[in-house]
């Protein structure tokens, strides 16, 4: 899929998905922080968000620090990754990758007209699930988005969030987890 | 952290100027990664929701030619089904028909013209262009024609697509040396015997759905699957027909039989003669029909008078009472009796006479034209495409059997044995070029070493095929042909499968279901290849049709139809048919022509050699999921039955310490050992003097990656084939075998 411009509110989910990709200068740039700050202001999260541009946009050391933290939390670490960003780890008994919940997610994508771009991609990565929510909303499939959240995403995201917050003091990710929570939590 | 704000109110508020600006700023920054998704409409697994149906397919996984439709998704064939409009196979196709998808996309298929830069039998292939391939074929064929005459070319064709080139070489180039496996290693004796008894071909023209009794001699419907034929057979049984099966083996048909005659192999004609003699003496035959339409009946009666029940019982190793029981059952249900002519009948080199006996029994019971009897369908008329017969006279002059005054009742072409002998000896003339087209003579013709000798002495060998079968290893030039799913070729015609239903005729041309063109291959159809050869051989002016499509158009035009019309009619044109019952054919019980040529004018029984001590006779048949070696590499079919079963009598197995599932080899009377093992099936359902296996396994070409080294080629064990004197067809149930296990040879106890 080309980078067609998502509509509001789909764009917020695309934005969140982007935020959990590997930190790189290609996207950690001014307009990204403009939007992050604006959303945060609207949610009264100013005090956390405002320092982020300073830490991670202005300095290269800051970026490297973020990359190291991302790797430690989500990719590879000794003795263990803090919080693998996959649903299978939290939902499936074995706690392995590509468990039943991942298969469920993949089938859900297919049922709603989407397939993973790469055949071998793990279907249940946080980035993909947020990206998918954006695509659904883009198409006006609000009911499907709600179903995906209630039957799948909300069942694992809180455990994931908890492990990140317990295992890291990084402000960038704690802020973004708060935003993800806001955009995905159950509302009356 | 808890928010007071809800998502809903946030999203409403997000219309605020600052946020809108930030959002569009971010969106236009281009800093977003590619989405991890692609859009793809949902297709439930196994569903055909987003496929398009293409009609006009005619199957060639065997040669019954069921009518097909294909389900395509993005140009890819995903499933084959029977054409629901078909009045023949209907919506049904068999396992092989289904597996056509896997033939189409078999990665082992031939793709480009190839030149053998190695040796015959041990090829090293080089891809060449069509121009280079055709130029070389033409110049080397021309070389042989110049040096040896057109008769110096031999052709081994098989299948619908081979008819066009076969007739080109016979009628235009002018060689008589055409050996069709479908005649000389299959149906030839049947077709000729019926023609010389009734004046018409037998085909499988028995009205089984409406029969009160069915006689199958060696025919094992159910293991041999032709969809509408199986439907006819099963409808007959469903309607209460009594079934008599004569077979040394408890075949799938024997399993449904009311009477199973477990006959000693090679003695069927004695059995049939005794039945006829008994019926004649008892007066249990159709006197009126015989009187009006019989020829030479008295001579016939005299000639078979010796065939008493006891005489046959001894020869056939079955009780006289059982022969009588069969005779009475047939007489009681006459004329509504289907005496099945069989299909693959090249068994013992005495097959013309057995087929004559079957035809005479058919006439004797007055079943011709009767409900349930021998009834030929009245099919539609078509146009014709024929090469001009500019070389036919030359061909006839050099026909080997005519020169030698042998095999006077040969089917069209030249008897294979004579052709091969002539090629090897160079007498009466040299045969120096060989063309095989869709046939695999290594596995179809008995006496492999002689066949290889024949090939090795050729100046040029050209092979056209779809798959890399054994014969392709012997090609100098190997040409890739389009499969039946990618080309136009024959126009299949017929009538509704059950004469009891509304009379309908159908016309169904074979049309491509998928594109013939693709970047990964350069396959061509036989009309194109032949025409290109014809142009290079100086026969451009004899070409009657420019393309296969034009050929089909011309054939259809004879029925006032066109491909466009057929497409509109979903691949099959239906028109009113007519009642086929009531036909009358003369029955030559005694055939003067045969007698004059020095053969027996009345059907006669000639004993065949018994197995030597310690050996059993090797007989072969089919398994329902394979068509000879043609389907062995098919991934689905190979997965079903990858190796040939070897049936062995239970008592014998016990004495030899063998058990079900053992892997065993066979060794024949000449010491030839099967190259691979088969899987032993221990059963009470086979005679002790007989071992059965399935034909077509054991390809030696490593390019057939699924099939190579699986099962064994039983043809390699047939080194002592007989030749039918009347027709020149081979008899191939002539080999005797012992068992080899763990390097030890085991004698078969008596």
Q: How far apart are the first and last CA of chain B?
A: 93
Contact B225, B253 (CB under 8 A): no
Q: What percent of chain B is modeled with pLDDT above 90?
A: 92
Phi, psi of B510 (to 5 degrees): -75, 120
For the record, the structure tokens of B473 come out as 């290893």
Q: Number of C-alpha atoms within 13 angstroms, CB side, residue B496?
A: 16
Nearest CA in chain B to A132: B37
Q: In chain A, which among 129-188 make CB contacts under 8 A with chain B?
A: 131-132, 135, 178, 182-183, 187
pLDDT of residue B212: 98
Residues B473-527 have pLDDT tens digits of: 999 999 999 999 999 999 999 999 999 999 999 999 999 999 998 878 999 999 9
Where are chain A's structural domains? 10-183
Mean pLDDT (whole number) for B675-689: 96
Which one of A29, A41, A112 has the shortest CB-CB distance to B31?
Answer: A29
In this predicted structure, the answer to whether residue B106 has a pLDDT above a threshold of 80 is: yes
Residues B261-274 have pLDDT tens digits of: 999 999 999 999 99
DSSP per-residue string spanning B66-106: -EEEEEEETTEEEEEEE-TT-SSSTT---HHHHTHHHHHT-
- Inter-chain CB proximity A11 and B19 less than 8 Å: no
Minimum mean pLDDT range among A105-119, B385-399, B405-419, B605-619: A105-119
How close B38 gets to chain A, by Cα (Å)? 5
Single out the residue of B528, B444, B469, B499 nearest to residue B183, CA to CA.
B444
Name the residue with higher pLDDT: A58 or B733.
Answer: B733
Residues B48-84 have pLDDT tens digits of: 877 899 999 999 999 999 999 999 987 889 999 999 9
Its CATH class, for the domain covering A10-183, is mainly alpha
The burial of B190, by beta-carbon neighbours within 10 Å (0-12 exposed, 13-18 middle, 19 or more buried), is given as buried
- How many other CB atoms sit within 10 Å of the CB of residue A48? 15
Nearest CA in chain B to A114: B39
Task: Give dist(CA B648, CA B684) in Å, integer.
Answer: 8
Q: Which residues of B touch A112 (CB under 8 A)?
A: 42
Strand segments, DSSP code E, in B367-432 are none
Is A29 in CB contact (< 8 Å) with chain B?
Answer: yes
In this predicted structure, the answer to whether residue B46 has a pLDDT above a threshold of 80 is: no
Single out the residue of B685, B687, B691 nearest to residue B255, CA to CA.
B685
Task: Check residue B239 and give left, alpha or beta (phi > 0: left; psi -120 to 50: alpha).
Answer: alpha
Task: Give dist(CA B142, CA B501) in Å, integer.
Answer: 54
Task: Give dist(CA B390, CA B406) in Å, integer.
Answer: 26
pLDDT band at A77 (very low <50, low <70, confident <90, very high): confident
Which residues make Cβ contacts (< 8 Å) with residue B437, sequence separation at least 6?
A: B155, B156, B157, B158, B159, B161, B162, B165, B166, B463, B464, B465, B526
Which residues make Cβ contacts (< 8 Å) with residue B405, sequence separation at least 6?
A: none
Q: Which residues of A touch B18 (CB under 8 A)?
A: 38, 41
Q: Which residues of A touch B13 (CB under 8 A)?
A: 42
Residues B208-217 have pLDDT tens digits of: 999 999 999 9
Nearest CA in chain B to A25: B31
pLDDT band at B531 (very low <50, low <70, confident <90, very high): very high
ipTM for the predicted complex comes to: 0.89
Task: Give dist(CA B570, CA B555) in Å, integer.
Answer: 18
pLDDT band at B43 (very low <50, low <70, confident <90, very high): confident
DSSP per-residue string spanning chain A: ---PPPPTTHHHHHHHHHHTSPP-TTTSSHHHHHHHHHHHHHTT-HHHHHHHIIIIIS-HHHHHHHHHHHIIIII--SS--S---BHHHHHSTT--SS-HHHHHHHHHHHHTTEEESSTTS-TTBHHHHHHHHHHHHHTT-HHHHHHHIIIIIHHHHHHHHHHHHHH---HHHHHHHHHHHHHHS---
Buried b (16+ CB within 10 A) or exposed e, B97-118: bbbbbbbbebebbbebbbbbee
Q: Mean pLDDT for chain B?
A: 96
pLDDT of residue A1: 45
Q: Which residues of A touch B29 (CB under 8 A)?
A: 29-32
Minimum mean pLDDT range among A116-120, A164-168, B266-270, B739-743: A116-120
Residues B620-665 have pLDDT tens digits of: 999 999 998 899 999 999 999 999 999 999 999 999 999 999 999 9
Q: What percent of chain A is modeled with pLDDT above 70?
A: 95
Which one of A11, A41, A135 has the shortest CB-CB distance to B27?
Answer: A11
Pairing of strands B573-576, B504-509: antiparallel
For the record, the structure tokens of B259 come out as 């009477």
Query: Which CATH number applies to B114-185+386-484+520-544: 3.40.50.740, 1.10.3720.10, 3.30.160.270, 2.60.260.20?
Result: 3.40.50.740
pLDDT of residue A3: 43
Which one of A35, A45, A109 has the shortest CB-CB distance to B22?
Answer: A35
Contact A148, A136 (CB under 8 A): yes
Q: Number of C-alpha atoms within 13 angstroms, CB side, residue B87?
A: 23
Mutation choice for B interface testing from A12, A16, A142 by most B CBs within 10 A: A12
pLDDT of residue B713: 96
Q: Which residues of A touch B10 (CB under 8 A)?
A: 42-43, 182
Q: Number of C-alpha atoms within 13 angstroms, CB side, residue B37?
A: 28
Contact B198, B363 (CB under 8 A): yes
Please provide the CATH number assigned to the domain covering B616-746: 2.40.40.20
Nearest-10 Cα torsion for B371, B372, B375, B379:
80
- Inter-chain CB proximity B7 and A182 less than 8 Å: yes
Name the residue with higher pLDDT: B51 or B239.
Answer: B239
For chain B, the residues whose C-beta falls within 8 A of a C-beta of chain A are 1, 3, 5-8, 10-11, 13-14, 16, 18-20, 22-23, 25-42
Task: Give dist(CA B283, CA B152) in Å, integer.
Answer: 55
DSSP 8-class letter at B513? S
Q: Which residues of B touch A124 (CB under 8 A)?
A: none
CATH architecture of the domain covering B206-364:
3-Layer(aba) Sandwich (3.40)
In this predicted structure, the answer to whether residue B6 has a pLDDT above a threshold of 90 is: no
- Inter-chain CB proximity A27 and B31 less than 8 Å: yes
Pairing of strands B213-217, B153-157: unpaired
Q: Which residues of A touch B33 (CB under 8 A)?
A: 18, 21, 27
- Inter-chain CB proximity A118 and B11 less than 8 Å: no
Phi, psi of A23 (to 5 degrees): -65, 120
Q: Number of C-alpha atoms within 13 angstroms, CB side, residue A155?
A: 16
Contact B379, B256 (CB under 8 A): no
Query: Domain B52-104 belongs to what topology?
Result: N-terminal domain of TfIIb (2.20.25)
DSSP per-residue string spanning B162-228: GHHHHHIIIIII----B--HHIIIIIHHHHHHHHHHHSS--TT-B-GGG-SEEEEES--BTTB--HH
- Inter-chain CB proximity A115 and B40 less than 8 Å: yes
Phi, psi of B276 (to 5 degrees): -65, -45
- Inter-chain CB proximity B37 and A31 less than 8 Å: no
Contact B355, B189 (CB under 8 A): yes
Mean pLDDT (whole number) for B144-161: 97
The burial of A7, by beta-carbon neighbours within 10 Å (0-12 exposed, 13-18 middle, 19 or more buried), is given as middle
pLDDT band at A2 (very low <50, low <70, confident <90, very high): very low
Mutation choice for B interface testing from A2, A6, A8, A187 by most B CBs within 10 A: A8
Task: Give dist(CA B378, CA B577) in Å, integer.
Answer: 7
Chain-centroid distance of CA B745 in Å reads 34
Q: Which residues of A touch B6 (CB under 8 A)?
A: 187
- Inter-chain CB proximity A18 and B31 less than 8 Å: yes
How close A69 gets to chain B, by Cα (Å)? 20
How close B37 gets to chain A, by Cα (Å)? 4
For the record, the structure tokens of B611 come out as 């197995």
Q: What percent of chain A is modeled with pLDDT above 90?
A: 69
């Amino acid at each position: 899929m080309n980078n067609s411009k998502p509509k509001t509110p789909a764009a917020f989910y695309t934005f969140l998905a982007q935020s959990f990709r590997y930190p790189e200068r290609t996207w950690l740039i001014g307009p990204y922080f403009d939007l992050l700050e604006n959303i945060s202001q609207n949610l009264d999260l100013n005090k956390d968000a405002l320092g982020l541009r300073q830490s991670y946009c202005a300095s290269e050391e800051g970026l490297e620090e973020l990359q190291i933290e991302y790797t430690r939390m989500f990719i590879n670490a000794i003795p263990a990754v803090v919080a693998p960003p996959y649903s299978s780890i939290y939902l499936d008994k074995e706690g392995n990758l590509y468990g039943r919940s991942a298969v469920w997610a993949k089938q859900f994508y297919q049922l709603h007209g989407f397939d993973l771009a790469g055949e071998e991609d793990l279907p249940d990565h946080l980035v993909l699930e947020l990206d998918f929510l954006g695509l659904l909303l883009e198409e006006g499939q609000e009911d499907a988005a709600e179903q995906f959240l209630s039957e799948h995403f909300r069942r694992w995201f809180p455990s994931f969030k908890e492990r990140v917050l317990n295992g890291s003091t990084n402000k960038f990710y704690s802020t973004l987890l708060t935003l993800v929570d806001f955009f995905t939590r159950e509302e009356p | 952290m808890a928010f007071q704000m809800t998502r809903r109110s946030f999203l409403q508020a997000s219309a605020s100027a600052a946020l809108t600006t930030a959002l569009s700023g971010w969106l236009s920054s281009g800093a977003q990664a590619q989405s991890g998704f692609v859009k793809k409409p949902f297709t439930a697994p196994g569903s055909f929701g987003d496929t398009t149906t293409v009609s006009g397919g005619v199957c060639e996984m065997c040669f019954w030619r069921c009518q097909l439709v294909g389900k395509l998704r993005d140009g890819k064939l995903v499933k084959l089904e029977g054409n629901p409009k078909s009045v023949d196979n209907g919506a049904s196709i068999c396992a092989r028909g289904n597996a056509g998808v896997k033939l189409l996309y078999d990665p082992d298929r031939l793709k480009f013209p190839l030149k053998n830069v190695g040796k015959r039998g041990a090829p090293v292939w080089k891809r060449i262009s069509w121009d280079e391939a055709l130029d070389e074929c033409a110049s080397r064929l021309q070389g042989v024609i110049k040096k040896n005459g057109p008769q110096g070319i031999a052709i081994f064709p098989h299948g619908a697509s081979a008819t066009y080139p076969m007739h080109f070489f016979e009628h235009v180039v002018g060689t008589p040396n055409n050996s069709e496996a479908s005649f000389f290693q299959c149906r030839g004796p049947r077709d000729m015997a019926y023609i010389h008894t009734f004046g018409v071909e037998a085909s499988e023209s028995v009205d089984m759905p409406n029969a009160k009794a069915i006689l199958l001699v060696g025919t094992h419907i159910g293991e041999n699957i032709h969809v509408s034929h199986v439907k006819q057979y099963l409808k007959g049984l469903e309607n209460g027909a009594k079934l008599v099966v004569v077979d040394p083996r408890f075949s799938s048909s024997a399993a449904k039989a009311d009477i199973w005659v477990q006959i000693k192999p090679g003695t069927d004609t004695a059995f049939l003669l005794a039945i006829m003699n008994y019926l004649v003496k008892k007066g249990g035959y159709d006197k009126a029909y015989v009187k009006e339409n019989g020829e030479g009946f008295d001579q016939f009666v005299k000639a078979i008078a010796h065939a008493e029940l006891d005489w046959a019982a001894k020869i056939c190793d079955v009780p006289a009472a059982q022969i009588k029981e069969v005779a009475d059952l047939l007489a009681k249900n006459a004329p509504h009796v289907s005496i099945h002519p069989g299909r693959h009948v090249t068994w013992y080199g005495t097959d013309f006479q057995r087929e004559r006996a079957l035809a005479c029994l058919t006439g004797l019971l007055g079943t011709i034209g009767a409900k349930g009897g021998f009834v030929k369908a009245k099919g539609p008329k078509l146009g014709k495409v024929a090469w001009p017969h500019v070389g036919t006279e030359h061909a006839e002059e050099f026909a080997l059997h005519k020169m030698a005054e042998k095999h006077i009742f040969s089917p069209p072409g030249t008897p294979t044995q004579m052709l091969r002998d002539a090629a090897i000896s160079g007498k009466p003339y040299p045969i120096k070029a060989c063309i095989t087209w869709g046939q695999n003579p290594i596995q179809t013709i008995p006496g492999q070493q002689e066949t290889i000798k024949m090939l090795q002495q050729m100046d040029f060998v050209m092979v056209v095929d779809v798959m890399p079968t054994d014969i392709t290893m012997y090609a100098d030039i190997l040409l890739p042909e389009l499969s039946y799913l990618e080309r136009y070729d024959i126009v299949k015609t017929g009538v509704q499968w059950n004469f009891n239903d509304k009379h309908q005729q159908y016309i169904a041309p074979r049309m491509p279901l998928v594109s013939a063109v693709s970047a990964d291959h350069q396959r061509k159809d036989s009309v194109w290849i032949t025409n290109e050869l014809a142009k290079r051989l100086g026969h451009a002016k004899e070409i009657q049709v420019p393309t296969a499509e034009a050929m089909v158009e011309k054939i259809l035009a004879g029925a006032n139809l066109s491909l466009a019309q057929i497409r509109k009619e979903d691949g099959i044109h239906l028109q009113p048919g007519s009642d086929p019952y009531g036909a009358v054919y003369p029955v030559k019980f005694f055939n003067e022509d045969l007698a004059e040529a020095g053969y027996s004018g009345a059907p006669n029984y000639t004993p065949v050699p018994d197995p030597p001590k310690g050996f059993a006779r090797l007989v072969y048949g089919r398994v329902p999921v394979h068509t000879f070696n043609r389907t062995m590499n098919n991934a689905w079919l190979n997965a079903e039955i990858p190796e040939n079963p070897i049936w062995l009598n239970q008592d014998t197995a016990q004495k030899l310490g063998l058990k079900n599932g053992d892997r065993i080899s066979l060794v024949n009377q000449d010491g030839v050992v099967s190259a691979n093992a088969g899987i032993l099936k221990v059963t009470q359902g086979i005679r002790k003097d007989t071992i059965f296996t399935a034909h077509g396994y054991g390809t030696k070409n490593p390019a057939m990656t699924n099939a190579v080294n699986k099962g064994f080629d039983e043809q390699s064990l047939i080194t002592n084939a007989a030749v039918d004197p009347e027709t020149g067809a081979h008899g191939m149930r002539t080999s005797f075998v012992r068992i080899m296990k763990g390097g030890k040879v085991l004698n078969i106890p008596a």
